[in-house]
Amino acid sequence: AQSVTQLGSHVSVSEGALVLLRCNYSSSVPPYLFWYVQYPNQGLQLLLKYTTGATLVKGINGFEAEFKKSETSFHLTKPSAHMSDAAEYFCAVTISGGYNKLIFGAGTRLAVHP
């Protein structure tokens, strides 16, 4: 069985500060890992994903995440927060070797203050 834990349901940063959103996963098989962003009353937009290969993946809007197998983590970072980054962020996992259902974490609401 797979699961995702996002540490911190709310994260608040100042504009220009580092953004760090934490995600740990549990999977008995090699995982595919994803970060999605959701704005109010909208669907989800993919920020980035890890399937195979390079463990540091870069996504849209300046976000990146690093797959660390030894720590079972896939934390999302951005060097400098922008006001427009305020949203809900979801980490998700599925099994590798073919697409399967996504299991989502509880989500982290990011607030960005001027």
Partner 1 sequence: GAVVSQHPSRVICKSGTSVKIECRSLDFQATTMFWYRQFPKKSLMLMATSNEGSKATYEQGVEKDKFLINHASLTLSTLTVTSAHPEDSSFYICSAIDGTEAFFGQGTRLTVV
Q: Which amino acid is at 24?
A: N
Q: Which of 28, 29, 41, 53 binds partner 1 (CB under 8 A)?
A: 41
The least distance separating partner 1 from the CB of residue 81, rounded to whole angstroms, comes to 21
Interaction of residue 106 with partner 1, rule CB under 8 A: yes
Q: How far apart are CA 87 and CA 60, in angstroms?
A: 14
Q: How far is CA 52 from the centre of its chain?
A: 16
The least distance separating partner 1 from the CB of residue 13, rounded to whole angstroms, comes to 20
Which parts of 44-103 interact with partner 1 (CB under 8 A)? 44-46, 49, 51, 90, 99, 101-103
- How far separated are the first and last CA of the chain, in Å rounded? 41
Q: Which residues contact 14 (CB under 8 A, 6 or more apart)?
A: 81, 112, 113, 114
Q: How far apart are CA 8 and CA 38, in angstroms?
A: 16
Contact region with partner 1 (CB under 8 A), list: 17-25, 28-36, 63-71, 76-84: 28-36
Which residues lie near partner 1 (CB under 8 A)? Answer: 32, 34, 36, 41-46, 49, 51, 90, 99, 101-107, 109
